[in-house]
Each structure stands twice: as structure tokens, then as C-alpha cells.
Amino acid sequence: VRTVTVELGPRSYPVVVGPGARLALPEHVPARSRRAALVTQEDLGIEVDPGIEWRRFVVGQGEEAKSLPTVERLCSGMAAWGLSRADVVVGVGGGVVTDVAGFVAAVYLRGVAAIHVATTLVAQIDAAIGGKTGVNLSEGKNLVGAFWQPRAVLCDTDVLATLPRRERLNGLGEMAKYALLGEAGLERLPIEEQVARAAAIKARLVSVDELDTSGSRALLNYGHTLGHALEWACVLRRRERPSSAPDLRHGEAVAVGLVFAAVLARVLGRVGEEAVLRHREVVSAYELPSSVPGEITAAELLELMAKDKKAVDGLTFVLDGPRGPEVVPGVATGAVLEALREVGAS
């Protein structure tokens, strides 16, 4: 078991990674807590024991469950039970659960302690670390939320054994991102080691840019500008013809976005062809897709990317370069189109 620290002065906290990490839960429960609200999902079947009186609060499946009605229902249940300011909320699940549990902990009684037991790869290397919590509105994802750092994040690699293949791939898309953000050879290490190193990168970026204002944390969007646009293009097509539309999960779309970002960096003369090959190698080592499904057009992707929230000054991308990956604003449309065609957009 390895421990990575998110350094935030008095609010620093450990991310514990390894087989059986969830068994350490009682050690991280605040000494004054008398009760723990376990926020989790039905059928997850991952048992945790906080070592104090506890009650289970269930969150539904998927993005629809990440909602204000869920938050209200959980807060009401906690109030009816008498959960106090000294007590603790423990999120046990993937990113949907930790986002909701973290937000409930941030707002219930104006803030109670939170601990996350992250059970998906996405939650272990991304969602549960860093204090971004929140829920969706019908107008869009993650539109209501708060920064609320947990007391500890437990990443038990044993529980990853039951993850469905598609969920695993989804997480590996983010893992590929960390591999390309500067952990050369990450893809060849044992999974516990990969999770620990990825968590360490996330922890470091959160430490220097807790509130996502200085630009450092923006590096975590590597591969995401195109990734988000691709995810959207797939959602739009599924609405029209649910059975035959291309279906890329977030991590898979990010994988294509990583290869695209490398090609774009080469088109702009920031890196050479060997960097593109390295991106392709990492993505293929994780058995992730590296090209845009053929029917999705470059024009459509360009339009979707222009709507991306980071597009303040022309198109903005995180791009590799002589100093490593950095945020690059104002990228010319022509270069973007050329790179999109090279990764398969029609």
C-alpha cells in the first residue's frame, strides 16, 4: 500500500493506494465523529466498515442520479437521522458517487467531513482526488458544485477486479493522459503502481492550483478539448438513431483526443513525428481507440470545440512542446482541420 499526499497546508490529506486500502477507513474517520453516512450504490456490493455507527444512503446509476433531487433526498435522510457537524460522509463508489457525496458533505450543515472510497479507475486517479464536487442540471454537466477537499481518499485496487471492461477502458483513457503528461513507461507498470503514480500527478497539480485558477490544473484537460467534442457528437447521433450510432465513452474519446493533440502539436511545429508515435503507442498499449469514427466530420467537431468552455481566445488546447505539455490559446482553424483529418474525421 502506498500513500500520496495532496499538499494543501492544514487541509492536506492522504490518497492511500493498494490492495485492501479500504480496510484503513476507520483510521481516517475523525476522532470526534460518532456516525458515518455511507453514500453508495445499490448492488455495488463493496463492503466498508467505518468502525462507528453507520447508515447507508443510496445513489442511483449514471449522470441522471448526479442531481439536486438526489442531494436533497440524501441531506433530508441525514437530517432525519441526526447526522451532526462532527460526523462524516463516506462516498463509496465511482465518480458519480464521490461527486454527489462530496457535494452533500460540502453543503449539509454548511460542511461536514468527507472521505472517499474510490471504486472505479476513474474515481481512483481522477474524480475522488482534488475536491471538485457537484451535480448536473438539465442545462449541462457539473453546473452546480463546490470545492470541498476530503479528509482521505482510499483507492483499493482489489475492487477493480469486478469493473466491467468498458469502465476499465474508460479509466485507462485518463491513465493514458497521465502517461503522456510525463510518466514515461507508466503503461508497463503493475496496475497498483500506475494508480499510485497517476494519483500523485493529480495530487501535485491540485496542490499548486487548488481552485483551478492558475492554469496548472488545466493540464488535466490534456486530450479533452477534442474528447468532449467527440463525446457530444456521439450523444447527438445516439439521439437520432440509438442502435447504430458510434459510441465512445469519455476515456475512449480522450484517447482519440490525445493522439489528435500530438498530431496538432506536430502540425504546429511544436514536436516531431516521434512524439506522435509515442502517443499512438501509449493509446494502443491500453487498447484504446486512436481515430475519429469516420462518419463524424471535421466541421462538426470544430463547431463543438468552439463551444467548449475553455475557448476564450480562439481554440485552446493543451499541447506538447519543447517544455512539455502546456495550455496553448488561439490555435488557427486551418491547423486544427488538418490534424482532425489526419486522425480520421471526414
Contact residues toward ligand NAD (CB under 6 A) are: 41, 44, 46, 61, 63, 66, 93-97, 99, 119-120, 122-123, 126-127, 130, 132, 142, 159, 162-163, 167, 170
Cell triple for 95: 465518480
Q: List Cβ neighbours of 92 (8 Å cut-off, separation of 6 or more).
A: 22, 38, 39, 40, 44, 46, 48, 117, 119
Residue 85 has a CB neighbour count (10 Å cut-off) of 12
In the complex, minimum distance from the CB of residue 296 to ligand NAD, in angstroms, rounded to a whole number:
22
Min dist CB 42 to ligand NAD, Å, is: 9
Question: Shortest approach of ligand NAD to residue 141 CB, angstroms?
Answer: 6
CB 22 to ligand NAD: min, Å: 10
* Cβ neighbours around 337 below 10 Å, total: 16
Shortest distance, position 76 Cβ to ligand NAD, whole Å: 22
**Nearest residue (beta carbon) to ligand NAD:** 95
- The nearer residue to ligand NAD, 179 or 345, going by C-beta atoms, is 179
Does residue 122 contact residue 170 with C-beta atoms inside 8 Å?
yes
Name which of 118 and 336 has its Cβ closer to ligand NAD. Answer: 118
DSSP class per residue in 174-208: HHHHHHHTT-TTGGGS-HHHHHHHHHHHHHHHHHH
* Nearer of residues 7 and 281 to ligand NAD, judged by Cβ: 7
Q: Rounded to 5 degrees, what angle do the CA atoms 123, 58, 145 make?
A: 55
Q: Residue 173: name the closest of 139, 244, 222 by CA.
A: 222
Count of H-run helices and E-run strands, the chain: 12, 11
Neighbours of 26 (CB within 10 A): 12
Q: Which is nearer to ligand NAD, 14 or 95 (CB)?
A: 95
Kindly tell me which of 61 and 84 has the beta carbon lying closer to ligand NAD. Answer: 61
Burial of residue 212 (number of CB atoms within 10 Å: 0-12, 13-18, 19+) = middle
Residue 167's nearest CA partner among 275, 251, 49, 241 is 251
**Do the beta carbons of residue 260 and residue 226 sit within 8 Å?**
yes
Q: Enumerate the β-bridge partners of residue 116.
A: 91, 153
| Contact call for residues 13 and 151 (beta carbons, < 8 A) | yes
Minimum distance from CB of 121 to ligand NAD (Å)? 8
Of 174 and 298, nearer to ligand NAD (C-beta) is 174
| Cβ-based nearer residue to ligand NAD, 163 or 337 | 163
Residue type, 92: V
Other CB atoms within a 10 A radius of the CB of residue 158 amount to 15
The least CB distance from residue 291 to ligand NAD, in Å, is 23
| CB 344 to ligand NAD: min, Å | 25
- Cβ proximity to ligand NAD: between 62 and 330 the closer is 62
Q: How far is the CB of 51 from ligand NAD (least distance, A)?
A: 22
- The number of residues making up the chain comes to 346
User: Which of residues 43 and 274 has its CB atom nearest to ligand NAD in the complex?
Assistant: 43
Q: Sort strands 88-93 and 140-147 into parallel, antiparallel or unpaired.
A: unpaired
